[in-house]
Amino acid sequence: MSMPDRNPLSTEGNIMKLIALEEAFWYDKLATKGTPEGQVPCKPEILADWVRRLSDFTEFRLPEMDKYGIDMQVLSLTAPGIQAQSDPEIAVADARLANDYLAKVIRDYPGRFQGLAAIPLQDPERAAAELRRAVNELGLCGALVNDHTQGHYLDEPQFAPFWEAMEELEVPLYIHPSPVPSDEWKVLQGYPGLEGAVWSWNHRTGGHAMRLIFGGVFDRYPKAKIILGHMGEFLPAQLSRIDNRYQSLDLKAQPRLPKLPSEYFGTNISITTSGVFSHSGLLDAIEVIGAENVMFSADYPFEKNEEATEFIRTAPLSSEDKELISHGNAERILRLKP
Report the pLDDT value the prediction gives residue 15, as an integer from 0 to 100.
72
State how beta strands 173-176 and 226-228 pair: parallel
In the chain, alpha helices (H): 44-54, 61-68, 88-108, 124-136, 160-169, 200-214, 217-220, 229-233, 239-247, 279-289, 305-313, 319-323, 329-333
Report the pLDDT value the prediction gives residue 201, as an integer from 0 to 100.
84
Inter-residue contact 144 to 76 (CB < 8 Å): yes
For residue 236, CA distances in Å to 130, 147, 165, 334 come to 32, 19, 27, 21
* Mean pLDDT of the residues in the chain: 92
Partners of residue 117 on adjacent β-strands: 143
Partners of residue 145 on adjacent β-strands: 175
Report the pLDDT value the prediction gives residue 316, as an integer from 0 to 100.
97
Higher pLDDT, 334 or 46: 334
User: Does residue 66 have an active-site annotation?
Assistant: no
Give the chain's domains with CATH numbers: 10-333 (3.20.20.140)
**Cβ of 266: how many Cβ atoms within 10 Å?**
14
The pLDDT tens digits for 91-108 are: 999 999 999 999 999 999
The pLDDT tens digits for 237-273 are: 999 999 999 998 888 777 889 999 999 999 999 999 9
Which of 123, 147, 155, 299 does the annotation list as catalytic? 299
- Spatial neighbors of 137 by CB under 8 A, at least 6 apart, are none
How far apart CA 295 and CA 324 sit, in angstroms, is 8
3-state secondary structure of 264: helix
What's the pTM value of the predicted model, to 2 decimals? 0.94
pLDDT at 307 over 70: yes
For residue 153, CA distances in Å to 65, 147, 162, 164, 188 come to 34, 7, 12, 16, 21
Report the pLDDT value the prediction gives residue 40, as an integer from 0 to 100.
67
